[in-house]
């Protein structure tokens, strides 16, 4: 199996300025992410950024990178331009690894790519894991910052939402936002694409559902395309959205280095 990992990265971040360049035990975060992705079976790992500083950091550590326009409204638009710059064929597989996931599991990247290869009826693949019946799992289910996904019997996405779905009608006695054990899936922001669809995506009409939920993947479903969902038994490593997240990830790397 051959596929390309593209890591979109932009410096603008309201909660953590210059996030891709944040130091994690001696290396910029974007380099940590690319190095982690390179442990997958990807034939190529490329960072796509509108910031020359990011490209310089990548070059200093032997990471391939391309400079994209600064006016992209979404990460998908940046990925589409990167596909053009890299000359990818329409049937080439691309996996989008977020630039703030320095602890992403390489096996999860492989699984996302392999699933799309096995599902020719789909233009995209993604990953989800179950939310358990612990207080932490229930809190994530109720949290609008945690995206949930519901699939059909064939593992195709029916809907993504920030709301607590599926809604457990008979569980209201224990709290309206409570998940029925074994029913809730947390969406992991890892995506596989066919390069041809990725190029076409920015031209698709924006979905009203996408605007309401602020979730780009709803545009795909709204236009009748299919997204295959890999169910992972493992949770992904923590991502970095805030300074507190960054400190947690730094602590993980320190612990790994101490072993």
**Residue 12, CA atoms < 13 Å, CB-side half-sphere:** 7
Return the HEC string of 138-172. HHHHHCCCCCEEEECCCCEEEEEECCCCCCCHHHH
The whole-angstrom separation of Cα 179 and Cα 131 is: 8
How confident is the model at residue 142, as a pLDDT? 86
CATH number of the domain residue 219 falls in: 3.90.550.10
- Which of 70-79, 103-112, 182-191 is modeled with the greatest confidence? 103-112
Residue 45 maps to a domain: yes
190: in domain: yes
Separation CA 89–CA 194 (nearest Å): 9
Q: Would you state the pLDDT for residue 107?
A: 95
Task: Report whether 75 contacts 8 (CB < 8 A).
Answer: yes
- Is residue 241 situated within a structural domain? no
Q: pTM of this prediction? A: 0.92
Is residue 256 a part of any domain in this protein? no
64-67 vs 44-49, strand pairing mode: parallel
Domain that holds residue 111: 4-234
37 domain-assigned: yes
In a domain, 67, yes or no: yes
Residue 184 maps to a domain = yes
In 3D space, the residue among 162, 88, 155 whose CA is nearest the CA of residue 125 turns out to be 155
pLDDT in tens, 184-241: 899 998 999 999 999 999 899 999 999 999 999 999 999 999 999 999 988 888 889 8
How many structural domains are present in the chain? Answer: 1
pLDDT at 173: 63
> Looking up tokens 């910029």, which residue turns up?
28
């Amino acid at each position: 199996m051959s596929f390309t990992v593209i890591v979109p990265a932009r410096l603008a971040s309201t909660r953590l300025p210059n996030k891709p360049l944040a130091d994690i035990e001696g290396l910029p975060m974007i380099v940590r992410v690319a190095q982690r992705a390179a442990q997958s079976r990807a034939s190529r790992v490329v960072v796509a950024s509108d910031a020359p500083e990011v490209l310089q950091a990548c070059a200093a550590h032997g990471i391939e990178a391309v400079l994209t326009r600064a006016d992209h409204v979404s990460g998908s638009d940046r990925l589409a331009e990167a596909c053009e710059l890299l000359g990818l064929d329409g049937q080439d597989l691309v996996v989008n690894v977020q630039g703030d996931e320095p602890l992403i599991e390489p096996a999860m990247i492989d699984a996302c790519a392999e699933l799309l290869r096995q599902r020719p009826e789909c233009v995209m693949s993604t990953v989800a894991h179950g939310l358990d019946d612990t207080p932490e799992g229930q809190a994530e289910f109720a949290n609008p910052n945690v995206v949930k996904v519901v699939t059909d019997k064939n593992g195709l996405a029916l809907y993504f939402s920030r709301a607590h779905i599926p809604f457990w009608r008979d569980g209201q006695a224990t709290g309206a936002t409570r998940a029925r054990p074994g029913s809730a899936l947390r969406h992991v922001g890892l995506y596989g694409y066919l390069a041809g669809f990725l190029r076409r995506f920015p031209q698709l009409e924006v979905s009203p559902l996408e605007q309401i939920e602020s979730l780009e993947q709803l545009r795909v479903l709204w236009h009748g395309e299919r997204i295959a969902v890999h169910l992972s038994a493992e949770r992904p490593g923590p991502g970095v959205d805030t300074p507190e997240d960054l400190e947690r990830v730094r602590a993980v790397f320190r612990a790994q280095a101490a072993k």
